[in-house]
Every structure is written in C-alpha cells, then in structure tokens.
A and B are shown apart, each in its own frame.
Chain A
C-alpha cells in the first residue's frame, strides 16, 4: 500500500499498523490483506462481488476490521459484504471507506453491508467515511446497511462522516425480532457544495424490541443535508428518533421523521431541531478568551463529539 492509502486507512479505521484479529483490507478494488481467526472467517463471494464474514456462535471480545480505500481517480465499485453473527457472540466490527481523488474523474464506492445477527448476540459496528484529494473529480460514497436482528440481540451502530465526501446517500434498514435492541448514532459534517442524505427505515416487529436513532449534524457553506427517519412499531415496542442539527452560512437542512404505530402498545417518539449556534454560546466562550472563530470551532467539535 502507498502513503495515500495508509493515510486513508488511518482516517477510516484508526489503523496505524496491521490490525489484530480478523481483517480484510480492500484497496483500489483489490484485496490488499486478509486475516482470519479460529472464530471469524472471511470468504470471498464466488462471483467476486464482495465478502462473507462468518462469526461463530459464542465468539467473545473479538474484532473484525474491513476498511476500504480508494486512491485511484475514476474508480467506481459496488461491493456486497455479508456478516453472519452467531448466537451469543459479542464482537466489534469496524468498517469504513476513505477516498482520495486527485484526478478529474469521479470516484465512487457503493457498499451494501448486510448483518444477520443471531439470538442474544451483541455487535458494535463502527463506520467512518472520509474523503481527501484536491482533484475536480467527486468523491462519492453510498453506504447501504441492512440489519436483521433475532431475539434478544443488540446492535450499536456508529457512523461518522466528517470531511471531504462530496455526495452521500446512506440507507439503513433494520428488522427487529422480540427483545432486540438497536442503537444508531450518526455524526455528520458537510461543507462546500456537499450533499448528504441519510435514510433510516426501522421495523420494530418483535415484542419489546426497541430502537434509538440519533443524528447530530452540522451543515456549513453551501451544503445540503436530508435526514429521513422512519420507525414502524408493529408490536409492543419502543422507538425514538432524534435529529439535532446546526446550520451555518448558506447551508440547507431538511429533517423528516416518520412514525407509524401499527400496534396500540407501540411507544414512538421523534424529536428534530435545526438551528444556528446560539449567540450567547459564542459570547460565553469569548468571555473565556476565545475569538469568535475559535468559539464556533469548539461548539461544533463538542456537538459532533
């Protein structure tokens, strides 16, 4: 791997060296490294469209890293990765995609991640997106996540996109069985002429299933964000969705929460707030000796932390 690819890897997976445990590194459309463990197997799909990650039942405290880096201008790829997580497993999965585009052609990575989470399994899924490079070609990322959760399973998903991605269309779909619990935290910062759309579609099918979808975002310059969060309560369940956004400069933000209760015992809540940084927040930090710009930076950093 070259230096650009290493930098991308550091940004999206916090990796400075080869990770411990299972991993699969994809660079410019090719496998650049793979490791499997006794409990975690990674197998290329026969048709070459992606990989299957199989985690044995009862696997505890292991991690899987599957970063993707693109440093070649004009590369467009579509990848399907399927995760099969066995019953009672407790694992951390780190995915992420970094694009460096110095050329004039658009680079695009579309990844569909499907999760099949077994009974009582616990998954922490961390996903980061990052773009760099000063070429005119756009950096485009369209991640899709499809989650199927069996009884009593738990998934925590953290997705972060802070810099450099020109266009994103993120779709996340989840189906939850009895007692399953899903927590999604999204952090997003757009600037320049970027556009980002996040679409969540959660079906609470099982008794006592619950979901919490939280988005915090900052839109600067001329950027555009859309947050669409749909929760369907099909049983006795609890759903909560929250979109909290700071708008700056000439940006535009649209928040569209949609709740549907198909059962009288479905308890569903949505909250959405879009606003500028409060003037008094800036003044408070100025009384501590920060300039207006420094104050703004601290407020945005804290908000997205």
Chain B
C-alpha cells in the first residue's frame, strides 16, 4: 500500500550536503504491523516525516495505494488516509481534548464516542475530555492523547514516531497494551518507530535503519534474534535496573 522508491533526503550543514536518507526503498503491505528500529540519528524520524509529508524528499518517489503522493501536502496525505503521531506531541492553549478528537474524527463525535478512544489509551475519559491540551498535562498523558487522535482517524496507514519517548517506564508498560490491541484489531497498516523490545515482539516485520540505509529487513522471526542485545533494541527495564545498581 505504501512504497518508497529510491528516497534520498539531504540537508545542508556546515560541512556542506549531508545525506540523512540514502536511496532508500521500502514497501509496507496492506494490514501489516511494521516496526522500524535502529540507532539514534539513523534517519528513522526523518523517514516518518517524509511519509507524512512534513518533509519532502530530495529525490525519489512515494506511492500510496499506487498513487504518487511525493508532491502532496500534509493535509492532502492526511485526507488520503495517512496518520502521524508526533514523537513530541504539540500542546495547544485553549483547545480541549474533545475538540482535538473531533477534529481528528472529522465528525461531531459525541462525548461518549470520544471517551471510548481515551479509554482505549488507558485514560479515565471523563477526567480528560474537557481538559485543555496544554502544559497542565504530563508527557505521558499527552502521548496517550496523541495516540487517541490517531485512533480516532482510523486511517489506512498510521505512523507512530517513538511512542515510548519522553514517558516514564511505568506509563509505557500500560501503553504497550494499546499497541498490542491495535495489532490485533486494526485493519489498516501500522508503522511504528521504536526501540522497545515489547513492540518489536509484536511486529509482523522489522526494518533496521542505520546511517540512512536499511541494514536489515524481514519478518520478526528472521530479524529480531540478530538485533536483541545490540544498541538497536534496548530492554528498558534491564537498562533501568542496571542504572539503579550502577553496574
């Protein structure tokens, strides 16, 4: 359903042109749960932005359901059925959680329907529905609301950029169940950028990206054993306990 053909993305820095994504090709099939992982700075988030249209590739083509969307705007891609959950969700003074969910669903969602999306991401809905999406929400709360806005869109393709980033371990333990449920229930395709072993564990396919290129790609069974214990996948709990004991 989504095909990236020879995508490159260059930026200018002090030393001149620098390739962030280098001639990368990738296909995401219908109904698949794909996890992209790899070392920090490897180009994963850039790839997510290229798919959602926030960044435009220097060269290459992006096809969605066979249609060339390379030159389509963020809005056009959203309306074609691509959703994108930010790594760092945006705060809005004044806009309430219900407003945001209604904008996402594109209908005048009833409070009860909106509550359902919030419940799915583990928020006690009635406490949140009228809250402003502002600095009074914690990082974990914001992240869940961000995910709820993507759920409310029920898109053909949902892209999540590091859902674990910026939230504490205990919140993440709950959040992971959201993705487990999504894997079971969602009909569209899901693309998650993550370092989390538990998310890698529910992937149909895993793609490892390093230095702007795909270094490994295949089914979970093929790829996961080779990357566990490398810097590409970090078991958050063991890292936490090691940190605690100062080994």
Question: Are B90 and A281 within 8 A (Cβ)?
Answer: yes
* Residues on the B chain within 8 Å of A281, using CB: 90, 92
Q: Which residues of B contact A (CB under 8 A)?
A: 52, 54, 73-75, 78-79, 83-84, 86, 89-90, 92-96, 99-100, 103-104, 106, 149, 153
Interface residue from B73, B90, B153 paired with A284 (Cβ < 8 Å): B90
Question: Are B95 and A287 within 8 A (Cβ)?
Answer: no
Question: Are B79 and A289 within 8 A (Cβ)?
Answer: yes
Task: Provide a sorted-by-A list of 6 A–B residue pairs whose CB atoms are within 8 angstroms.
Answer: A216-B94, A280-B90, A281-B90, A284-B90, A287-B54, A301-B94
Q: How far is the CA of A165 from the CA of B141 in the complex (A)?
A: 40
What residue of chain A has the Cβ atom nearest to residue B73's Cβ?
A286
Question: Are A302 and B93 within 8 A (Cβ)?
Answer: yes
Question: Which among A97-105, A117-125, A168-176, A291-299 touches the partner chain?
Answer: A291-299
Question: Are A288 and B86 within 8 A (Cβ)?
Answer: no
Tell me how far the C-beta of A242 lies from the nearest C-beta in chain B, rounded to whole angstroms.
11
Task: Give the bracket for the number of chain A residues in contact with chain B.
Answer: 20 to 34
* Residues on the B chain within 8 Å of A287, using CB: 52, 54, 74, 78, 83-84
Question: Are A283 and B94 within 8 A (Cβ)?
Answer: no
Interface residue from A244, A284, A288 paired with B93 (Cβ < 8 Å): A244
Question: Are B94 and A303 within 8 A (Cβ)?
Answer: yes
Tell me how far the C-beta of A284 lies from the nearest C-beta in chain B, rounded to whole angstroms.
4
Question: Are A299 and B153 within 8 A (Cβ)?
Answer: no
What residue of chain A has the Cβ atom nearest to residue B81's Cβ?
A289
Q: How far is the CA of A302 from the CA of B99 in the complex (A)?
A: 9
Inter-chain pairs besides A284-B86, A287-B78, A301-B94, 19 sampled, C-beta below 8 Å: A278-B90, A280-B86, A283-B54, A284-B90, A286-B74, A286-B75, A286-B78, A288-B153, A289-B78, A289-B106, A290-B75, A298-B95, A299-B95, A302-B95, A302-B96, A302-B99, A303-B93, A303-B95, A304-B94
* Residues on the A chain within 8 Å of B153, using CB: 288-289
Q: Which residues of A contact B (CB under 8 A)?
A: 216, 244, 278, 280-281, 283-292, 298-299, 301-305
Main SS of the interface on chain A? Answer: helix
What residue of chain B has the Cβ atom nearest to residue A292's Cβ?
B75
* Residues on the A chain within 8 Å of B78, using CB: 286-289
Q: Which of B94, B100, B106 has the most CB of A within 10 A?
A: B94
Q: Which of B75, B84, B104, B106 has the most CB of A within 10 A?
A: B75
Question: Are B103 and A298 within 8 A (Cβ)?
Answer: yes
Q: Which of A278, A287, A299 has the most CB of B within 10 A?
A: A287
Tell me how far the C-beta of B55 lies from the nearest C-beta in chain A, rounded to whole angstroms.
11
Q: How far is the CA of A88 from the CA of B106 in the complex (A)?
A: 47
What residue of chain A has the Cβ atom nearest to residue B86's Cβ?
A284
What residue of chain A has the Cβ atom nearest to residue B101's Cβ?
A288
* Residues on the A chain within 8 Å of B54, using CB: 283, 287
Question: Are A305 and B94 within 8 A (Cβ)?
Answer: yes
Q: How far is the CA of A203 from the CA of B195 in the complex (A)?
A: 56
Q: Which of B90, B96, B99 has the most CB of A within 10 A?
A: B90
What residue of chain B has the Cβ atom nearest to residue A280's Cβ?
B90
Interface residue from A286, A288, A291, A305 paired with B104 (Cβ < 8 Å): A288
Question: Are A288 and B103 within 8 A (Cβ)?
Answer: yes
Tell me how far the C-beta of B189 lies from the nearest C-beta in chain A, rounded to whole angstroms.
16
Question: Are B83 and A302 within 8 A (Cβ)?
Answer: no
What residue of chain B has the Cβ atom nearest to residue A246's Cβ?
B93
Tell me how far the C-beta of B133 lies from the nearest C-beta in chain A, rounded to whole angstroms.
9
Tell me how far the C-beta of B153 lies from the nearest C-beta in chain A, rounded to whole angstroms.
7
Q: How far is the CA of A289 from the CA of B52 in the complex (A)?
A: 11
Q: How far is the CA of A34 from the CA of B33 in the complex (A)?
A: 68
Tell me how far the C-beta of B195 lies from the nearest C-beta in chain A, rounded to whole angstroms.
23
Interface residue from A216, A291, A292, A299 paired with B92 (Cβ < 8 Å): A299
Tell me how far the C-beta of B129 lies from the nearest C-beta in chain A, rounded to whole angstroms.
15
Question: Are B74 and A283 within 8 A (Cβ)?
Answer: yes
Tell me how far the C-beta of A247 lies from the nearest C-beta in chain B, rounded to whole angstroms.
14
* Residues on the A chain within 8 Å of B99, using CB: 298, 302
* Residues on the A chain within 8 Å of B92, using CB: 281, 299, 302-303
Q: How far is the CA of A283 from the CA of B94 in the complex (A)?
A: 17
What residue of chain B has the Cβ atom nearest to residue A304's Cβ?
B94
